[in-house]
Amino acid sequence: MAVVADDGAIGRDGGLLCHLPEDLRRFKALTMGHTVVMGRRTFESLPKGPLPGRENIVVTRNAAYAPGYDTVRVAHSLEQAISMATMPEPVMVIGGGEIYRQALPLASTLHLTRLHATFPDADTWFPAIDPNEWQELSSPHPERPGQGRALQGDGEDARQGVSYDFVTFERKETIAPSFRMGLGEAGETPRYLILAGEASGDLHGSRLIAELRRLQPEAQVRFFGGDMMAAAAGRDPEVHYRDMAFMGFIEVIKHLPAILGFMRTAKKIIDDWQPTVVILIDYPSFNLKIAKHAAGRGIPVHYFISPKVWVWKQWRVKDIKRHVKAVYCILPFEPEFYRGKGYGGATYVGNPTVAEVAEAIAAMPSRDEFCVAHGLDPAKPIIALVPGSRLKEIRDNLPSMLQAATRHHDCQAVIAAAPSVDLSVYHDILNTVAPGIGPAVPIVVGLTFTLVRNASVALVTSGTATLETALLGTPQVACYRMDASRIAYWFYSKLLSGKYVTLPNLIADEPIIPELLMHHCTVDAIDAHLTALLADGSDRRAQLDGYARVAARLTTASCAATTARLIVSSHS
């Protein structure tokens, strides 16, 4: 919501341009019972302090800022403020200029009071409203009473008799092909080159393609990816991600000729096809080299799903600053990290795991049905063992998980097997680590979400699975043994950045779940945390309370839809 003059002005010296009683009544009617988000200067300009009947959230980069009211909450980014909102939607953004600029690409509705005047002494402006992206509601409705007259001014700058009217804009569902939102020359079909190098990128890329084509049905798409992206784009990939999935230094060296060939293919498409935009999806070792090539050709580069530069190889931020126009983050703390490195092009767009987990929970069978289908005892607590999807991490972590879990004879340990891993791998570990218990430890294939949801506690290899487990609501211990030597731990601790490794702890910025890394990941350490979490005590309750804070920060926004809208609108 804003009062906007004909020249886009909205304020001067931290105050309003003029005082409109009818506008204040409309403002109160629209915001009452909702969360209002504002910048620090806007909050401090409120004559009577926090707005009653509303949840007040102030956005400021000042980590020490204290608003002076217990009822006012403080956020350090717009994304964090939105994730903190607890009152019924919509979240109402009420100023000032920088907050409006950040919020406009995420907004679905604009409630404006349009002042038919100009203010040469103004110092704050509302961002431009693109008529190709927004449509003004033309039919009369209760929120638009028509024209009025300003009844009184504001202080010494009182301006009597300013004409105004109330208008509401809604974002257009589909961007008309004739406009292109500035993508390419007039009448030119937008062309997207999207590069994903692994299975998760194929999933997220397919959803992004669907959203881009919803906004621009005529858009052309070429891509590196997999079968899901192929279904969304209606064509085969230029290169399939399974041909690019090389892990570790030795594997990369062995397949270096193939990798260089894939890079040449991507660069040739950029040079010959001249895409309107290049969109990268994670996979930084490959994608950042392509970003440099595309940027050198004057083609804008957008990064969907930031590489984890905040924990590993921070020097990559320099390449992102040089070659990438915008980064769309799926973790709410990432934009602040980038700002701290001098890059302002990062935006939190929501996390896909939230919707994936919610959809999975809605489709799950009951616990009794799940237990019967897999030969489990419905009366016994389940300890879910989630050792990951890569052979090395399974072989490094599952033995310790098994030894800790099978100490609890009143529970049943169940292994979550990755569909891509042969069952013989799990059987070999069972026969080696605990040859007498192999048949007593069931293996469930491709049903990790259902298993974890129905477990009392999960032992989880650190990674995305820790966030999935948190959203599924199951207490957990994060295990990452890898090389268990103290020397290796010291070496990696020098390379890694930040206080935490697991996503729930990073998102909440507090130790919600125990992190047992390398030589700290012993059977006794796992068992100590497991025992505490199996009991219905303070450890279990504290972790579940922490999960609620994580979920609140993530929000339920569709990251693919938001990213597609931002990519299209950023070139207007």
Q: How is residue 214 written in tokens?
A: 């919803």
Instruction: Check for a shared fold between 2-171 and 355-554.
Output: no
Let me know: does 378 contact 371? Beta carbons within 8 Å. yes
Tell me which residue has tokens 């609890």. 408
What is the C-alpha to C-alpha distance for residues 211 and 205, in angstroms, rounded to an integer? 10
Amino acid letter, residue 269: I
* Beta bridge partner(s), residue 56: 36
pLDDT at residue 162, as a whole number = 74
Fold of 2-171: Dihydrofolate Reductase, subunit A (3.40.430)
Q: How is residue 563 written in tokens?
A: 């990213």
Coil, helix or strand at residue 263: helix
183, pLDDT greater than 50? no
Query: Can you identify the CATH homologous superfamily of domain 180-350+559-569?
Result: Glycogen Phosphorylase B; (3.40.50.2000)
Per this entry, what is the length of the chain?
A: 572
Amino acid letter, residue 366: S
Q: Which of 158, 175, 264 is nearest to 212 (CA)?
A: 175
Question: Which of the four pLDDT bands, split at 50, 70 and 90, describes residue 159?
Answer: very low
Q: What is the average per-residue pLDDT within 63-67?
A: 86
490, pLDDT greater than 70? no
Query: Residue 549 gets which letter from DSSP?
Result: H
149, pLDDT greater than 50? no
Query: Which range has the worst mean pLDDT, 113-127, 173-187, 287-301?
Result: 173-187
335, pLDDT greater than 60? yes
What is the C-alpha to C-alpha distance for residues 354 and 472, in angstroms, rounded to an integer? 9
What is the C-alpha to C-alpha distance for residues 353 and 330, in angstroms, rounded to an integer? 9
Domain 355-554: assigned CATH number: 3.40.50.2000
Helix (H) or strand (E) holding 115, with range, is: strand 109-115
Query: Which range has the worst mean pLDDT, 256-265, 343-352, 411-420, 488-497?
Result: 488-497
What is the C-alpha to C-alpha distance for residues 368 and 277, in angstroms, rounded to an integer? 50
**Structural domain boundaries in the chain:** 2-171, 180-350+559-569, 355-554
Q: What is the average per-residue pLDDT within 72-92?
A: 84
Looking at every residue in the chain, the average pLDDT score rounds to 84
Question: Which of the four pLDDT bands, split at 50, 70 and 90, describes residue 553?
Answer: confident
pLDDT at residue 556, as a whole number = 73
499, pLDDT greater than 80? no
What is the C-alpha to C-alpha distance for residues 97 and 45, in angstroms, rounded to an integer? 14
How many other CB atoms are found less than 10 A from the CB of residue 571?
Answer: 16
Let me know: does 376 contact 383? Beta carbons within 8 Å. no
171, pLDDT greater than 50? yes
Let me know: does 448 contact 386? Beta carbons within 8 Å. yes
Coil, helix or strand at residue 388: coil
Q: Give percent of the chain above pLDDT 70.
A: 86
Let me know: does 275 contact 299? Beta carbons within 8 Å. yes
75 or 435: which leads in pLDDT:
75
Tell me which residue has tokens 């403080």. 74
525, pLDDT greater than 70? yes
Q: What is the average per-residue pLDDT within 211-226?
A: 93
Instruction: Give every CB contact of residue 463 below 8 A, 6+ residues apart in sequence.
Output: 388, 503
